[in-house]
């Protein structure tokens, strides 16, 4: 792991997004609560939050961080579900991996909950959209 021992502890934030492409039929099943395994959005939220806290065990060179905030939101759009996560920490290194991991695992959870009704889903556009608080300044992705 990169040595961050001498870096300053500052308030750092990161926000990431991703998208699960889902068939119209499966989206209707989700909206009308007909997914047999339960509510995919709620399961995805919980799974994403847990995964964010587990980031240093999943991503080998990530530093352990004491997250002070983590939020996952899922929005049903026309062609699928958009997942967004934001993470905050007071620490010596950034939290983009925590936000990206939350998005990825939330998306996988949606996939798992819905795969009985749609076996052609695709997870894409997992990306950092904003980052603040580190030495490299404020990052805002152009979209």
To a second copy, the closest distance from the beta carbon of 52 in angstroms equals: 9
Rule CB under 8 A: say whether 114 interacts with a second copy: no
Rule CB under 8 A: say whether 77 interacts with a second copy: no
To a second copy, the closest distance from the beta carbon of 56 in angstroms equals: 5
The correct pick among 28, 64, 75, 77 for binding a second copy (CB under 8 A) is 64
How far apart CA 47 and CA 106 sit, in angstroms, is 6
The correct pick among 73, 112, 130, 132 for binding a second copy (CB under 8 A) is 112
Question: Which residue is associated with the tokens 């603040």?
Answer: 132
Strands 80-91 and 69-76: antiparallel
Rule CB under 8 A: say whether 137 interacts with a second copy: no
How far apart CA 45 and CA 120 sit, in angstroms, is 22
DSSP assignments along 94-113, one per residue: --HHHHHHHHHHHHHHHHHH
Distance, CA of 10 to chain centre: 22
Rule CB under 8 A: say whether 92 interacts with a second copy: yes
CA distances from 142 to 29, 102, 127, 137 (A): 34, 22, 11, 15
Give the nearer residue to a second copy in terms of CB position, either 27 or 49: 49
Active site residue 112: yes
Total residues binding a second copy (CB under 8 A): 69
Residues 35-54 that bind a second copy (CB under 8 A): 36-39, 42-43, 45-47, 49-51, 53-54
Residues with catalytic function: 112
């Amino acid at each position: 792991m990169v040595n961050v021992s001498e870096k300053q502890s500052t308030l750092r934030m990161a926000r990431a997004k991703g998208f699960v492409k889902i068939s119209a039929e499966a989206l209707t099943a989700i909206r009308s609560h007909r997914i047999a395994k339960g509510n995919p959005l709620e399961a995805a939220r919980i799974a994403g939050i847990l995964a964010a806290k587990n980031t240093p065990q999943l991503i080998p060179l990530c530093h352990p961080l004491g997250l002070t905030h983590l939020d996952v939101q899922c929005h049903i759009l026309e062609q699928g579900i958009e997942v967004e996560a934001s993470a905050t920490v007071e620490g010596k290194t950034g939290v983009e991996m925590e936000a990206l991991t939350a998005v990825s695992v939330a998306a996988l959870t949606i996939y798992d909950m819905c795969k009985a009704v749609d076996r052609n889903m695709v997870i894409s556009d997992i990306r950092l959209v904003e980052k603040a608080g580190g030495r490299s300044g404020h990052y805002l992705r152009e979209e």
